[in-house]
Amino acid sequence: MRSGEAPERGAAPRAADGDAARADAARGGAARNNAAGDDGGRYDEISDREGGARVRAPFPERLPSLEERRRAAGGGPSRRRVLVAGAGVVVGAGLVAAAGGAVYEGWLPGRPRLIRAVEGCGTPGTPPAGVIAGPVTTTTFRSAARRRDVSLVVAYPPGYAPRPASGGGTSGSSTSRTTTGTGQLPALPLCLVLHGRGDDARSLVSGLAGPSYLAAATASGVAPFALAAVDGGETYWHRRANGDDPEKMLLDEVLPRLAAQGIGVDRFGVLGWSMGGYGGLLLARRQPARVVAVAASSPAVWGSYPDAAPGAFDSAADFAANRVLGAGPAGEVSYRIDCGNADPFSRQAHRLATELGAAERGFTVGCHDFGFWRRQLPAQLAFLGGALSG
């Protein structure tokens, strides 16, 4: 789903990516620029199966505190009245207090909106200062699996220099500090990065600031590895009825290219957010012998096809064939699941973490945006580095 999309069919929020502008244009409305990496002032169409109706509402990085709201209003709303506004209920004061608590606990509709009103989105992750990122390469190739040109972005840790692949091109392996018993350089481990709907491979740099976080991680002692992202479109990372097949692209086109450049692809990790979080979980389910670990941020998952966002799946049969919620863990894959409390996918993410027996979990204050995904990235990179070096 799009990187800010809520988990219900007929109520698909757009945020943290370029979707809002396209959605507005499609409805004939004024387009809003939500470029990747712009975390402020996002807009979502919010429904959480707790809300039902589609609501167009601001989705800022941080909402004003209760005290700030009191000052702006000239001194007045109480916490009880704020709960009234968050729940969208106007009733007697005693009933409102009870209803607000029920909404917050998830017994009544509107929990993500109310949590945003009360908790906000938390402090957005800021790219680490004082670190020099390693090399980043971007190449374009014609994907037969996707029937279009796609970009491949590879971020290396400091001290690893890309080299041209045999036959030309850019991207590559490394000047490793150690060698194997045969004197050959060991392959640099790999983590595939799957972007959210409305984003692309370049979001690894522009939205997630992956190269800087990777440099900081290795400087802190995390075993080095490469991050590689490729354009997956809006496919939900599985073969679609029109023949667009991003999974085949990953396995048959991206991995061989990386292997030819000296990067280890026999076993690899996967990092993804939103649609890409779902895609990482799906790839692990399909390739449990190759996927070592998955770190999924705000994975876009639904419990049933009727609840899914329009366009995420071609049919009920397509949903059933590619579901991850309720499918259980895959082989020996290690999982980390992260999700913000105010993210409409929070409830599903908690369920996923339990079903998969997630080794690590990052549930805290946050929304469905790059601010939250960057904030969780250091712990995710440490988790992936440990799994890849184990």
Q: Is residue 7 part of a domain?
A: no
- 324-360: buried (b, 16+ CB within 10 Å) or exposed (e) per residue? bbeeebbeebbbbbbbbbbbbbbbbbeebbebbebeb
Specify whether 191 is located in the same domain as 100.
Answer: no
Specify whether 114 is located in the same domain as 141.
Answer: no
Specify whether 363 is located in the same domain as 225.
Answer: yes
Distance CA 8, CA 309 (A): 6
Specify whether 143 is located in the same domain as 115.
Answer: no
Distance CA 344, CA 112 (A): 6
* pLDDT tens per residue across span 64-114: 444 544 454 454 444 444 444 444 443 444 443 444 444 444 434 466 677
Model pLDDT, residue 114 = 76
Model pLDDT, residue 374 = 99
Domain that holds residue 265: 136-178+185-389
Model pLDDT, residue 232 = 98
Model pLDDT, residue 71 = 54
- CB neighbourhood size of 140 (10 A): 11
Q: For the chain, what's the residue count?
A: 390
Structural domains of the chain, count = 2
Q: Is residue 58 part of a domain?
A: no
Which residues in the chain land under pLDDT 70? 1-112, 163-185
Q: Is residue 320 part of a domain?
A: yes
Model pLDDT, residue 222 = 98
- Residue located via tokens 């607000």: 100
Model pLDDT, residue 136 = 97
